[in-house]
Chains A and B, each alone.
Chain A
Amino acid sequence: EAGVAQSPRYKIIEKRQSVAFWCNPISGHATLYWYQQILGQGPKLLIQFQNNGVVDDSQLPKDRFSAERLKGVDSTLKIQPAKLEDSAVYLCASSLRWGEASTEAFFGQGTRLTVV
């Protein structure tokens, strides 16, 4: 089966600019996650969707970050305006609906963002 697809793989922007990331989860996976991974640290959840509804966005900096999952499939994560501390790898993951099977999570290759 196809894995989680993310684009772009790399992005360099200046501070105060905006940027958007795209994720296409594994077919049939109702749950989608966006994680932020700063160099040398474990990933930290930004937002979790179940279909097109938000389950958890408690750690999303809502003054600058936004995410949507229209139609419950693809998702986009946007940062506007970007700050230097947003430099990180942004990982998208998906799993089956909560309560189904093993709910194993599968991750994409990530988008490496550098803010200069």
Chain B
Amino acid sequence: KQEVTQIPAALSVPEGENLVLNCSFTDSAIYNLQWFRQDPGKGLTSLLLIQSSQREQTSGRLNASLDKSSGRSTLYIAASQPGDSATYLCAVRGNYGQNFVFGPGTRLSVLP
């Protein structure tokens, strides 16, 4: 059974810092991995999708990497801004059409 963990659970940084959020999964037989952002009281916004054959994806100040063999993904946020404050969730999908299994999320606060 796939299990997904995220470290740290919460993070508070001053504006302008570069930061890394970590996601680990127990079963490396994944189809893809997706990073989401969730603002309080809102649904999930897709940030980046990495297919199992890819090593990384970039979108603006965000860069996500995937090391399938070690069961890890990282989300790198460059030059953080207060508007980046939210909960960041990673989700992995198995190889056989399974649903997405989510981690518990990392709650990020970027202080002005």
Contacts and interface: CB of A to CB of B under 8 A. Distances in A.
Interface residues of B, number: 25
Contacts of B34: 104-105
B104 A42 contact: yes
A110 B100 contact: no
A42 B102 contact: yes
Interface in B25-58: 31-32, 34, 36, 41-46, 49, 51
Contacts of A108: 43
Interface in A38-88: 40-45, 48, 50, 55-56
B51 A42 contact: no
Interface in B76-100: 89, 91, 93, 97-100
Contact of A109 (B32, B42, B103, B104): B42
Interface string A80-98: 0000000000010100001
B97 A104 contact: no
B26 to A, nearest CB: 15
B4 interface: yes
Contact of A42 (B4, B32, B43, B97): B4
Which among A45, A102, A103 has the greatest number of chain B C-beta atoms within 10 A? A103
A105 B34 CA distance: 8
The 3 tightest CB contacts between A and B, nearest first, are A42-B102, A107-B44, A98-B97
A105 B41 contact: no
